[in-house]
Amino acid sequence: MPVGDELVAGYHIVAMPYPGRGHINPMINLCTFIASKRGINITIVLTKEWLGLIGLAPGAPTIRLRTIPNVIPSEINRGDDFAGIIEAVFTKMEAPFDQLLDQLDLPASCIVADMVLPWMKSVGSRRNIPVVSLWPAASSSFLAFYHSHLLAARGKHPKEDLPAERKEDIIDDPPGVSSVVKDARIEKLVRKAFSYATKGQGLIFTSFYELEPHTINSLTAELHIPIDTIGPDEECFKWLDLQPEASVLYVSMGSFLSSSNEQMHELSKGLSASGFRLEIGLELKSIVGADNVVGREEISNNVKRLMDQNVEEGKQLRRRAKELQETCQKAIEKGGSTDCNSNAFFEDFVHGKQMLPCNVDL
What's the pLDDT tens digit per position in 287-304? Answer: 444 456 677 777 777 777
Amino acid at 140: S
Give CATH for domain 5-238+336-350.
Answer: 3.40.50.2000
The letter for the amino acid at 42 is I
> Please, which residues bridge with residue 41 across strands?
12
Distance CA 92, CA 187 (A): 19
Q: pLDDT tens-digit profile of 239-279?
A: 778 888 777 777 766 666 566 777 777 877 777 777 776 65
Check pLDDT > 70 for residue 152.
no
Give 190's pLDDT tier (boundaries 50, 70, 90): confident
280 or 33, higher pLDDT: 33
pLDDT at 128: 94
Whole-angstrom distance, CA of residue 292 vs CA of residue 184: 25
The answer to whether residue 44 scores a pLDDT higher than 90 is yes
* pLDDT bucket at 153, cuts 50 / 70 / 90: low
pLDDT at 359: 40
State the Cα–Cα distance between residues 304 and 13, nearest whole angstrom. Answer: 46
**Which of 64-78, 193-207, 271-285 is least confident?**
271-285
pTM, entire model: 0.74
- Secondary structure class of 171 (helix, strand, coil): strand
pLDDT at position 119 is 95
Ordered DSSP codes for 63-114: EEEEEE---S--GGGGGG-HHHHHHHHHHHSHHHHHHHHHH-SS--SEEEEE
Report the distance separating Cα 297 and Cα 188, nearest Å: 42
Task: Tell me the chain's radius of gyration from C-alpha atoms.
Answer: 22
- List alpha helices for the chain, DSSP H: 5-10, 21-38, 48-54, 82-92, 94-103, 120-127, 139-146, 150-153, 187-195, 213-223, 234-241, 261-273, 296-307, 312-332, 337-345
- What are the start and end residues of each CATH 3.40.50.2000 domain in the chain? 5-238+336-350
Highest mean pLDDT: which of 73-77, 221-225, 242-246, 338-342?
A: 221-225
Closest alpha carbon to 136 in 191, 211, 78, 207: 207
The confidence score (pLDDT) of residue 288 equals 43
pLDDT category at 326 given cuts 50, 70, 90 is confident
Of residues 302 and 93, which shows the higher confidence score? 93
- Greater confidence (327 vs 22) lies with 22
